[in-house]
Amino acid sequence: MASRKKTAAHAGQRGKRRIIDFDVEMGRRLRLYRTQRGMGQGELGDALNISFQQVQKYENGLNRISAGKLIQITRVLRVPLALFFEGLESGVADESARAATDAHQQVQAFAATAEGRRLYQAFMAIEKPETRRLFLRTLESLSDDQAD
């Protein structure tokens, strides 16, 4: 039987996987929904029967989330599965759709910060619509004052 030698090019490809934008975006969304629930990586890992390091790899887009694991995640976090796929259509050609996706990503990035979570929780605790509108006007006024 002839022995098969691996070429350097073949050996370099084995075991490596190209990270794609979808993996990174899924990880961002996982982090967003987990932090919105006030859940730590360890707590989510325990609920999914995986290590917190695996949760980190998912959130950083280093490991791809399988379909089965994604369904488990949505059940633990109590979010609709569709939220993970919203706006991910390939070939978004329309500039307004692309801008909306960029804005969505900016909101997600802010919501994943400690300040973003606090602001979200405080805002959602306001029950009266008129009080929410007043709050927004106050924030806009404060940001206008900063620009001057």
Structural domains in the chain plus CATH codes: 18-87 (1.10.260.40), 113-148 (no CATH)
What pLDDT shows up at residue 101? 63
What distances in angstroms separate CA 57 from CA 27, 43, 52, one per listed residue? 8, 15, 9
Q: Tell the residue number behind the tokens 């932090």, with chain if given.
A: 35
Which residues of the chain carry a pLDDT beneath 50? 1-15, 91-94, 96
What pLDDT shows up at residue 108? 75
Let me know: does 81 contact 70? Beta carbons within 8 Å: yes
**pLDDT tens for each residue of 79-91:** 999 888 887 765 4
Calculate ∠ Cα 35-123-84, nearest 5°.
40
What number of other Cβ atoms are within 10 A of residue 27's Cβ? 22
